[in-house]
Structure 1
């Protein structure tokens, strides 16, 4: 790690009136500004800086505004000591005309001098710690000190989006931004203590190797995934493209359900606390060659084999395209889906941007441009007066069919840009609830030192109407609002049911598992859609487009998004957030009680949904209906079950009287 050099910093002063001299910038006594002093002449040195006939000592650097920006000036203390000499005629003329000799530094040089003073205390702290701390600091300690200082500076700005990314985390950060990584190609989570395959990705190495939905990954290259976090387990699955990983897989079934080419399981039985296969399950090994995976961000209504069907109403030719994130690959995917819908004679389109937290600004602009012939897409403005405006072009624009964009409180940033552009240009209706309200532009800068990169908030987004997207603590208006008659709120419980139903339709199943979906004729009935997908907002969007296709008028399918309605919805969300924070504070108080007075801890635990809040990972929750019939049994996949039950509509035994 670089260490501080004692003494002043040598700088080349471009345009110095004393010729090609070298000066030294140093702190003045008392820390008031800086001084510029000529460097002592070295033996054999030549140039104006070593000319004894021009002894110049500069005053303090002064920052002055000029047409070229803020510059730093140095004036000599004794003008009489400058004598006219051959070769210095331009200099003499300058003195006669201006009456003062000014040496201009570039802004970077002046600012750098001030930065050194700013960080003098930080360097002092580092020096004292390295000299006097109880143990010798390691390279890792110095790195932690450095990163802590950087993050400390950023935290004082109170902007959650300005962020320091250390060099070792850049690869993961870029992977998230681009939606690319090298691995086996599967969506995973944890279940029964193991890494669980939610679904293999289409045309992925995992799919080609015979990995199926609901498989458990017991080990990767012999390392167990038992009770590991998802991130730790995923790290074992990812690696350089072309490398091979051997997975031990557990699956419901018998030897006949093992894929062709599989190997005997290297972890066939229990290992320590990790259990062996349950009855009716089989284990095997499979080698998978990692490839570069581009995560798909464009999805449809349901899968037909390993592809998406984007037609939500085949009778009225209404399409549905769901975009989960804005990455470099989003626009090509979206264009392919839309071209297929146009070939199929699409008459109306639903663009689902719910739960889409944003991503690339360029992708948002290109997506808007697909649907707009002309008009403003978005404008940006930073702390200076100069802003930037982005316009639509007619090249490649799609036909002008009726269109609904679905958003909710988790639709942010790039999602809001697209929604606002289409709504303000009268290209689409907006259905759902008010969006999140993230209207900030971040720019990425790599640190010249190589320590990492900095994501800095530089500008605000403004919709074509001029509305600011960003929500602040005092905002009563932010984001994008639903169109009149299209405010369709959904509760958290309704969203949970919708997401569970959607998950089943996203799974790529093998031919061995059979076709899990009902017949295609069912997808023409919006009532069936609501019953199957449990998606009130989608059902309303289908009804809206059917209405405008029928008589040319947009029907009322929801509430009026009045200021009072939207404010009450935001108020309920904040109250819910407050309740969750209050529960966390109560939980912290119980922990404090446990550390200070066990009797208090026992008393406070007694009334909770799970007394003592033990770690129940691997256990089972059985749910019975009011008649005592068991409905389902759920495996507990992690600790702190009580934390989640705190927010559920349940009560512990003995609480009935208190509630009545």
Structure 2
């Protein structure tokens, strides 16, 4: 296709955009909806000149740059450059990254169900995902994958390893694995399946590798950690809450630390599990109508005292949940002030779904009407994010954060113990103490005792 054709297409798109009919939403009978005013002749002329500037620049690069460059690379670079003038959350997703993006949103993909890393040049299993083909085949954390489909993994990149093991559901992949437990090598044929990554985790794993959601079995204090807000998070959480309610849960800690967010709809559904009525969140944008979501009483777990844990890396949907429960006095918030991402991104398909644009289209407000989004250059004294309740701030250092992440990673791992030869007595390792979690537990134990005392007094 010539540059003249490209320019013609761009101009046709520009003109058709001016003459396009109103969308289905805009043509609805609504007194508040007004047709957009036609573009002024001066603006049309300026837009024409800007498009001409772009196509002329593309023409010059293609014809005269010192070496030949693929036109798609140039256009994708232009799109990405355009988006740098927007906020950090708007981005272009090219075809080769779209599947990975969708998997991260849906929390599911076709594969064998392991997380891996490359350590000292060896493809090492961090952990199998519980009850997946890899888990059922006996692969455990610490095992080394020596070959995939007969090809050595020595020096393999992480992306290449993932691509080789992912595939169509129902197909098989052959792997040669060295087990950490006994150093024996096994050749396995593992059938790919739909892998769903759990986003609702407990405090630690039981002997059968199921999650234990009771932080304190005697006091009946439960602990749930949400890693992100994916498509199935609310359903997972509802199931766990039903189990804990049947186990006579007296208090609940909802840990949203290091949770980057996810789907707005899922954040709203999670709030609705704990709040009986009232506003959950509202959104509004320049070209998006104001929307308001309210809680429904049906299916609400509203009786048990709650604590929400947040830190500086809790963002987006995490902040929606923390802010909603805090504003409704449904839970107290313990930890540090959250990140401050109060914007909504829509996914716009491009090229008939081959690529996509993640575009910020609106911002959201907490039930109290206060702002969540932290604008560039915002001061600590300004209103943004979600701050702990008064008297419940627990600041952590970078070292604390690193130790927390490692502690939780070890709890996630499904592995078998590797036998070790007798060694000289090792110096004791100072156990990690999760200070925000300890404060949350103390609060709920005290709260549960007061609730029990009140019930006993009322019964007399």
Normalising by structure 2, we get a TM-score of: 0.84
Alpha carbons of structure 1 residues 292 and 67: separation in structure 2 relative to 1, 3 Å? closer
Mind listing any 5+ residue stretches in structure 2 that lack a counterpart? 19-32, 420-429, 453-460
Q: Does 1:393 align with 2:296?
A: yes
Q: Are the counterparts in 2 of residues 501 and 534 from structure 1 also a CA contact under 8 Å?
A: no
Q: Which residue of 2 aligns with 1:266?
A: none
1:258-286 Cα offsets, whole Å, 9 max, x none, are xxxxxxxxxxxxxxxxxxxxxxx332321
Give the corresponding residue for 1:427.
Answer: 330
Instruction: Report the equivalent of 2:440.
Output: 541
Q: 1:131 aligns with which of 41, 63, 87?
A: 63
- 1:479 maps to 2:385: yes
**What are the residue-to-residue correspondences of 1:486-501 with 2, within 5 Å?**
486-501=392-407
Q: Is the 8 A contact 2:6 2:55 kept in 1?
A: no
Deviations 1:303-327 (A, max 9, x none): 1113111111111211111000000
Q: Specify the alignment match of 2:423 in structure 1.
A: none
Give 1:324-339 correspondences, 5 Å limit. 324-339=227-242
Kept in 1, the 8 Å contact 2:199–2:229? The answer is yes
Q: What's 1:274 paired with?
A: none
Shift in Å, 1:238:
1.2
**Separation of aligned partners in 2, 1:491 and 1:135:** 49
Q: Decide which of 504, 514, 521 is 2:410's aligned counterpart.
A: 504
CA 486–67 in structure 1, closer or farther in 2 if over 3 Å, else same: closer
Answer yes or no: is the 8 Å Cα contact 2:275–2:302 preserved in 1: no
Distance 1:2 1:451, change over 3 A: farther
Counterpart of 1:632 in structure 2 is none
Q: Quickly say closer, same or farther: Cα 1:128–1:336, change in 2 above 3 A.
A: same
Shift of 1:420: 0.1
Q: Which runs of 5+ in 1 are unaligned?
A: 13-24, 27-33, 35-65, 75-109, 258-280, 515-530, 554-660
Query: RCO higher in 1 or 2 (8 Å CA, sep ≥ 6)?
Result: 2
Q: How big is each residue's C-alpha offset from its partner over 1:516-547, in whole Å with a ceiling of 9 and x where there is no partner?
A: xxxxxxxxxxxxxxx86531111111100011
* C-alpha distance in structure 2 between counterparts of 1:292 and 1:8, whole Å: 45
Q: Does 1:154 align with 2:83?
A: yes
Residue 319 of structure 1 pairs with residue 225 of structure 2: no
1:230 aligns with 2:139: no
3-state SS of paired residue (1:181):
strand
1:31-46 aligned within 5 A: none
What residue in structure 2 maps to residue 293 of structure 1? Answer: 195
Matched-pair contact (CA < 8 Å) for 2:179–2:185? yes
Q: Secondary structure at the match of 2:73?
A: helix
In structure 1, the residue matched to 2:36 is 69
* 1:438 matched residue in structure 2: 341
| Higher gyration radius (CA) | 1
1:193 and 1:227 in contact (8 A); partners too = yes
Q: How does 1:334-345 map to 2 (within 5 A)?
A: 334-345=237-248
Q: Is the 8 A contact 1:497 1:534 kept in 2?
A: no
Question: How many pairs align?
Answer: 422
1:407 equivalenced with 2:310 (yes/no): yes
Does structure 2 conserve the Cα–Cα contact (< 8 Å) formed by 1:324 and 1:355? Answer: yes
1:184 aligns with 2:112: yes
User: Paired residue for 2:73?
Assistant: 144
1: CA distance, partners of 2:7 / 2:211: 67
Q: Which residue of 1 aligns with 2:185?
A: 283
Residue 90 of structure 1 is matched in structure 2 by none
CA distance, structure 1, for counterparts of residue 143 and residue 443 of structure 2: 40
Q: Give the CA RMSD over aligned residues.
A: 3.0
- Counterparts of 2:9 and 2:311, CA distance in 1: 55
CA–CA distance in structure 1, aligned partners of residues 109 and 288 of structure 2? 40
Q: Which shifted more, 127-136 or 385-394?
A: 127-136
In 1, Cα distance between the equivalents of 2:389 and 2:108?
Answer: 35
Shift of 1:171: 1.1
Q: Give 1:226 shift.
A: 2.4
Q: Tell me the distance in 2 between the aligned counterparts of 1:484 and 1:333.
A: 31
Q: What is the deviation of 1:431?
A: 0.5
Q: 1:165: Cα distance to partner?
A: 0.8
> Contact between 1:501 and 1:532, CA under 8 Å: does it hold in 2?
no
**Alignment equivalent of 2:129, drawn from 195, 201, 226:** 201
SS at match of 1:122: helix
Distance 1:73-1:408 versus aligned 2 partners, 3 A rule: closer
Contact 1:431 1:483 in 2 (8 A): yes
User: Secondary structure of 2:361's partner?
Assistant: strand
Aligned to 1:119: 51
Distance, in Å, in 1 between the alignment partners of 2:242 and 2:320 is 23
Whole-Å separation in 1 of the counterparts to 2:353 and 2:409: 42
Rounded Cα–Cα distance in structure 2 between residues aligned with 1:296 and 1:112? 51
**Structure 1 residue 175 corresponds to structure 2 residue 175:** no
Alpha-carbon contact 2:98-2:354 (below 8 Å) kept: no
The aligned runs of 1:237-316 (5 Å cut-off) are 237-252=165-180, 257=182, 281-304=183-206, 305-316=208-219
After TM superposition, the score normalised by the length of structure 1 is: 0.60
Q: CA deviation at 1:190?
A: 2.5
Q: Contact (CA 8 Å) 1:300, 1:310: kept in 2 or not?
A: yes
Partners in 1 of 2:317 and 2:6 — Cα distance?
Answer: 48
